Amino acid sequence: MIELFTADTPNGKKISIMLEEIGYDYKVTKIDISKEEQFKPEFVKISPFSKIPVITDHDINESIFESGAILMYLGEKSGKFYEQQDRLKINQWLMAQMGTIGPMIGQHHQFHHYNPGKSEFGEERYFKIAKRIYQELDNRLKNSKFLAGEKYTIADIATWPWIARHPIHDIGLKNYKNLSRWYLEISSRDAVIKGYDLLKDGSKIPSL
Ligand SMILES: N[C@@H](CCC(=O)N[C@@H](CS)C(=O)NCC(=O)O)C(=O)O
C-alpha cells in the first residue's frame, strides 16, 4: 500500500492522478501547509525540504520525496506511462516541468494571484514567463500528441495540473489551440477526474 502525504496543490495532484492511473491502492494523509504541518519533525524525516508531496511505499518500507522522482518510481514500479524506450524524451519533458514550468508558473501564482500590488516587477516578469510557457507548450503540442511523443506519459501527468490552474493565470488558455486540445483530452480521463479531487471534497476540473 502507498501512503501519499499531500495537500491540494498542482504538485500534490500529480501523484494522486498517477496513483489513480496505475490503479494502486493508496491512502491520502493530508499535510496542511497553511498550518505549517510540513515542518513537523516526523514529516521532515521523510521530506528534507519540508514539502509535499511525499509517498511511503509500505510494501518496501521506503519513502520518496520530490514529485518527479515519485512519478519515475511509480512509473518504473507499475510499468506504465514511463516506458524504457521512451525515457530519453520523457525525462526531458519531465525535467522541463520540474525545473521551469512548475517553478515559474508557481511564481506567477504568487505575484499575480495571491499577492497583487506588492511588486510590479514580479508581476510583470512572471506573467511574461508564464505566457511564454503557454506558447512553448502550444508549439510542442502542434507537432506531438502528448509532450514526450504520441503516448500519454508521466511528463503529461506532471504538467497538466499546472495548466489546470489556468483560471487564475489570466492568460486565456482557449487562445492556445494545441494546448487546449491536450488539456481537454487529459481532463476527460477518469483517473484524472478522480485524482484531481484528491481530498474528496468534490473538486471539479476547470473547463476551458
Ligand atoms: N520540487 C518539489 C516542489 C514541491 C512544492 O513546492 N511543494 C509545496 C506545495 S505545492 C510545499 O510543500 N510548500 C510548503 C513549503 O515550502 O513550506 C516537488 O515537485 O515535489
Check which CATH number belongs to the domain holding 27 and give it: 3.40.30.10
**Sheet strand arrangement including 62-65:** 26-30, 2-6, 54-57, 62-65
Cβ proximity of 65 and 38 under 8 Å: no
Residue 202 belongs to some domain of the structure? no
Q: Where are the alpha helices (DSSP H) in 23-66?
A: 41-44
On whether the pTM is more than 0.95, the answer is yes
Residue 203 belongs to some domain of the structure? no
The residues pairing with 65 across neighbouring beta strands, listed in sequence order, are 54
Residue of 30, 31, 39, 52 to mutate, ligand 1, most atoms within 8 A of C-beta = 52
- Ligand 1 mean position, distance from CA 27 (Å): 19
Question: Are 76 and 101 within one domain?
Answer: no
**CATH (domain of 128):** 1.20.1050.10
Cβ proximity of 155 and 147 under 8 Å: yes
Domain that holds residue 167: 84-188
- Ligand 1 mean position, distance from CA 166 (Å): 19
Atom of ligand 1 nearest to the CA of 10: 10
Residue range 157-192, pLDDT digits in tens: 999 999 999 999 999 999 999 999 999 999 999 999
Residue 201 belongs to some domain of the structure? no
Residues of the chain with pLDDT under 50: none
Cβ proximity of 53 and 9 under 8 Å: no
Residue of 6, 11, 67, 100 to mutate, ligand 1, most atoms within 8 A of C-beta = 11
Q: In this structure, is the dihedral angle defined by the CA atoms of residues 54, 29, 192 and 174, taken in order, positive or negative?
A: negative
Query: Which pLDDT belongs to residue 10?
Result: 98
Task: State the amino acid at position 178 in one-letter form.
Answer: N
Question: Are 89 and 73 within one domain?
Answer: no
Question: Are 70 and 89 within one domain?
Answer: no
Residue 130 belongs to some domain of the structure? yes
Query: Which pLDDT belongs to residue 145?
Result: 98
Query: Which pLDDT belongs to residue 156?
Result: 98
Query: Which pLDDT belongs to residue 142?
Result: 98
Query: Which pLDDT belongs to residue 42?
Result: 97
3-state secondary structure of 1: coil
Residue of 4, 29, 44, 51 to mutate, ligand 1, most atoms within 8 A of C-beta = 51
Cβ proximity of 195 and 23 under 8 Å: no
Query: Which pLDDT belongs to residue 193?
Result: 98
Protein residue whose Cα sits closest to atom 19 of ligand 1: 67
Query: Which pLDDT belongs to residue 76?
Result: 98
Last residue of a domain, one of 62, 81, 100: 81
